[in-house]
Amino acid sequence: MMRPQLALVALLTSCSSMTSPSDTAITSRHFGTDNSGQPATLWTLSNGKMQIDVTDHGATLVAVRTPDRAGFLDDIVLGFDDVSGYESDGNQYFGCTAGRVCNRIANGTFQLDGYDYVLKKNNGPNHLHGGGSRSFDKVHWQTQTMTDEGGAPAVRFTYLSKDGEEGYPGEMHVAVTYTLLAGEQLQIDYEARTSKRTLVNLTNHAYWNLGGAGAETVLDHTLQVNADHYTPTDDTLIPTGELAMVGATPFDFRKTMPLGLHIDALAATAALGYDHNLVLNGDAGTMRQAAVLHHAGTGRSMSIETTEPSLQVYSGNHLHGQTGKGGKPYAQRSAVCLETQHHPDAVHHSNFPSTVLDAGEMFQSSTRMSFRAQ
């Protein structure tokens, strides 16, 4: 089986135009106490133009505040006011780091080097986003704050996943770093090493609404994705193994298209809307343009670059009005997830980029989001 694509990028990428140290800041505050009695902390990173909030519970992106065309700063990521919300039934992986393996593994099982591994089935017959109580979104991460060589503020989260945790082989050391770059850019860098041959597929599961978190719909946004192919799925959302052309399907975002234009054609399917993996053009392992999300009402746009081979587009079909930050309800399809990743269930499809990580090998991945308003 092929080895995973390895991105040759630095953990903290420097930029030729950085904010000066006087414009940057990292502050922190108490974010509540989780069910185990572990205090959670919220860090706020500022660069004079925008702010982000992250927490050590699940290495989670809690908020992104960017200006609209009038300069009004608003939060554009769904989430909760403290850690109790992230432990509640209302949390649907909001902003978390998903892993060890994000997305789905068919039947919650896989074979590696002649051994059969059994994982938690937490999504019908399948395994989703790393499993149960020790999946990456539910654990406490260690934290280091820093600035890169250009003065950009960053928070690095690290976690040691024990051999056998959630059924996966190997002791895995994982790091996730959020860096707030100049030019209204947020970069997320991932690293992982393992003591045994294992699987890894990491993503951030932020729910975006560029009109402001809590706005009624995301279907008024437009989306463009640099993907000629997608991976069709069965009725449990497991890929069939086919790499199908997007042409003449609701998944053809090669030209900018409203998210709501063709979603009704998917409403009666198992996905209930968009919940599909698009195969990005270009060479995985190199940073390249993946997608652009735009909201005409506020003028905000978010451009995504990544080293990952694919992008999961999920239209918030299972949001159900749960109460989020500031008491705002999150209605169905009021946000979209754009998850950079390896293809779902890659361990069962030899034609997909591999998610196998060898002992002693380094997995690296980077995704950069650039924001603007006009």
For the cut 70, the answer to whether the pLDDT of residue 188 exceeds it is: yes
Helix residue ranges per DSSP H, the chain: 83-86
Contact 342, 156 (CB under 8 A): no
Structural domains of the chain in order of their starting residue, each with its CATH number? 21-373 (2.70.98.10)
Across 3-16, average pLDDT? 32
Instruction: Please confirm, yes or no, whether 140 is among the known catalytic residues.
Output: no
Residues 6+ apart with CB under 8 A from 283: none
Across 56-84, average pLDDT? 98
Confidence of residue 128 (pLDDT cuts 50, 70, 90): very high
Among 4-13, 60-69, 97-106, 274-283, the minimum mean pLDDT is found in 4-13
pLDDT (0 to 100) of residue 9: 32
Across 20-30, average pLDDT? 74
Contact 301, 292 (CB under 8 A): yes
Phi, psi at 195, each rounded to 5°: -85, -20
**Catalytic residue from among 165, 166, 308, 339:** 339
Instruction: Please confirm, yes or no, whether 205 is among the known catalytic residues.
Output: yes
Q: Is the pTM of this model over 0.75?
A: yes
- Percent of residues, the chain, with pLDDT higher than 70: 94
Contact 32, 80 (CB under 8 A): no
- Percent of residues, the chain, with pLDDT higher than 90: 92
What sign does the dihedral 89-90-96-102 (CA atoms) show?
positive
pLDDT (0 to 100) of residue 11: 33
**Catalytic residue from among 129, 205, 221, 343:** 205
pLDDT (0 to 100) of residue 150: 86
Write out the two tokens for 253: 């975002």
